[in-house]
Amino acid sequence: MATKGLDYSELYAKDLPPAAGPWEGVYPYNFTTGHGSPDLIPIDGFIESVTRALKREGRNLAVYYSNGGPMGNLALREFLVKKLRKYRGINVTVDEVMICSGSTQCILLINETLLEPGDTVITEMFTYAGALRNAQRRKANTIGIPLDDDGMRVDILESTLADLRSKGIRPKYIYTIPTCQNPTGTNLPMDRRREMLRISQEYGVPILEDECYADLIFDGEWEHAIRSLDDTNHVLHIGSFSKSLAPGVRLGYIVAPQGVMNQMLASKIDVGTNMVTPLMVADFLENNYEEHIETVRDMLHRKRDVLIASVREHFGPTVEFYEPRGGMLMWFKFPEGVDTSKPLEAAKKEGVIYNPGADWSADPKNHGSNYIRICYGLPSEDQIRGGIERLAKVFHQEVGIP
């Protein structure tokens, strides 16, 4: 007798997000997600480093948490302590740095430690969709603060916190991407960083500083991290190797005060981050960081320029944008009333994929639907030119712009 197939949906936990659809595969003109460039993967360097590191320390893989304990590979944490001091102005010890599976896991751990249903989280009005979704999944209310060309409007941050305080609400944290902001590409100047820290101290609301793209400034000076200004435990700082090296290494890090770190460690129940990639990455970066990151910045700089020229050529003046000084993504504004999600299916048929703006909005009903995000790390310069030309044709057909 045939047994009826088991219906797992009867067993699902309550309030799951909609199930994922099948993977759509690779589009020839892929402008979504902060992918890296295949040409920039340092294959020979990785091979040398992984070989050297495995010969030296490979036998430690037999033991959970070896090479540095539950906080992760010690050599990589030592490298980070030096890099954070030199490039971000942050002075910490290895005991304040934890390695995770991408900075995504850092965000998950912080949310696991801080968030309960009904809590409030402050974000930039346009921000990283992954961070928004995770806070919302924990049933937090996200409040978006408008941005201008200098990042988050800290005056509006302060009035929002004052308003919330008058209602008895103390948000759990202020999530900010101050350097190469995702998706707007803006950089928060030092005076705003100081002001944000002052506001955080005044209202007793910590800052979650996400510096995923901070290595990628290719034009002009870089600002120090907000964490570099803080000696009062108000900043949780996270970063990633996804953008400077490769998303596939799945390595990120948190800098946090000891007490919070210990609390997060209690929730890090994955029995440790992968131990092979940190061996390789620590060895590679110790020997090649400066040279490698210069190559990455140069390529991103060229691609940004190609993207800007292509958008000017094919979309003309109807589309406005901020010219980012670093990073791998740009945010394009269409006239009010244009719904940028509409052309997506037609664009896919032409082999082009992009992120409609509403997905990057803390308040998608009122903000974001007339923007698109274009990531330029993965496509080659020719693919950027060809993809933008195709996209302009699709937009013209679907929404009459340009």
Ligand X SMILES: Cc1ncc(COP(=O)(O)O)c(C=O)c1O
Give the interface with ligand X as residue ranges (CB under 6 A). Answer: 34, 102-104, 128, 130, 177, 182, 210, 212, 240, 242, 247, 252
- Smallest distance, ligand X to C-beta of residue 34, A: 4
Q: Which is nearer to ligand X, 182 or 361 (CB)?
A: 182
Decide if 220 contacts 325 (C-beta within 8 A). yes
**Cα separations (Å) of 317 from 149, 173, 212, 308?**
18, 38, 31, 12
Q: Which is nearer to ligand X, 154 or 177 (CB)?
A: 177
- Smallest distance, ligand X to C-beta of residue 400, A: 31
- C-beta nearest to ligand X: residue: 102
Q: Which is nearer to ligand X, 119 or 210 (CB)?
A: 210
- Smallest distance, ligand X to C-beta of residue 130, A: 6
Q: Is 320 helix (H, G, I), strand (E, B) or coil?
A: strand
Q: Which is nearer to ligand X, 177 or 384 (CB)?
A: 177
Q: Which is nearer to ligand X, 45 or 130 (CB)?
A: 130
- Smallest distance, ligand X to C-beta of residue 183, A: 8
- Interatomic CA distance for residues 1 and 224, integer angstroms: 69
- Interatomic CA distance for residues 398 and 80, integer angstroms: 48
Q: Which is nearer to ligand X, 247 or 257 (CB)?
A: 247
- Smallest distance, ligand X to C-beta of residue 2, A: 44
Q: Which residues is 236 bridged to in the sheet?
A: 208
Give ∠ CA 110-112-117 in degrees, rounded to 5: 115
- Interatomic CA distance for residues 160 and 203, integer angstroms: 11
Decide if 124 contacts 145 (C-beta within 8 A). yes
- Smallest distance, ligand X to C-beta of residue 211, A: 8
- Smallest distance, ligand X to C-beta of residue 382, A: 24
* SS3 per-residue string spanning 191-252: HHHHHHHHHHHHHCCCEEEECCCHHHECCCCCCCCHHHHCCCCCEEEEEECCCCCCHHHCCE
Q: Which is nearer to ligand X, 200 or 240 (CB)?
A: 240
